[in-house]
Chains A and B, each alone.
Chain A
Amino acid sequence: MCSYITHKVRVSGSAKGPSGWMRVDTANVYFDHPFHAPLDHALAIDFVCHADGAKERVAVELSAESARELVAKILIALKEGEIAHEQAEMAELHY
């Protein structure tokens, strides 16, 4: 089906688009027919910057399975990274 369901996520950061690095403030997330990936449905994310007029985007179209794997790995990376940084800060304090 063609779905109009789109989840908008406010994000803060940068992405590398067709003209180089750009700020991003919004991620549009949806599960629908992709434009490019040879899948019936894909988890698509469009990173844009509305503050700059959303003239460009950084896009991905992922299979449902790989999108779930990505979500899991993002959470693991965040958790492990935060723990590692906390430990480094603690070590500096004790140094």
Chain B
Amino acid sequence: MKLPKLLQAVLVVVAVYIAFKLVFSVGLQQPIPSSLLTMYMFFVVVATLLVTTATEESAKEMSGPIKALVEDPSKKTIRNIVFVLVPLLAGWMTYSNLRPSFEAPVELRTIHPAPPGSMKAFGKSYDLAKLENPFRKYQKEDPEKFKALVKEGGAVYYKNCHYCHGDKLDGQGQYAQGFNPLPLNFQDIGTIAQLQESFLFWRIATGGPGLPKEATPWLSAMPVWKDFLTEDEIWKVILFLYDYTGQAPRSWAAH
């Protein structure tokens, strides 16, 4: 038996929604945030409507039951039911969205705010557009020395950073759950792998208070490490971050 077009369309949309929920919330244990799911479903509905109205025949099949519902005198009862249900549904959705709750409002936070053009630390000024890790060159020139520097960076990391960023650099340190947002996961392909080393130097050296105004409220508990570490220690820990995660810093060397 061939299902009516309109019912097919509704079933497709419902099936996609359930699939999103099942796969991400149940299967992968990583639910799709409601803001994103709303966007996804909006375009799934739009695309379903486009497909079902692409040909004249299909469009007539789609609109037939809706027309009949509105115009056919024999469907008076179901029409009245639908005409009561639709405003009630709209009212319920509006109420759900506006109902006060104890949940903090959703806010859009800039995780990677742009660095300034230059910064001051250790009694001098750095031009972040040109700043490079002074130890990076040893990766090719003297691999043994590089290895030793990475090791020193690792020591700095485990003395100072792993409490929050985790011993596997995955943002799951002992104190991580005490922060909101959680400390950054360096294993994520979208974090340090996207950035130049100068960005990391700025971010580590100046910490949360060094973030620019565009990142406010910056909600970063990152200490100002220039007060606790030396310049070389910061560069070494940067070497360690990339080495441990198997990532390479962003550079334009291949261009």
Decide whether A and B assemble into one complex: no
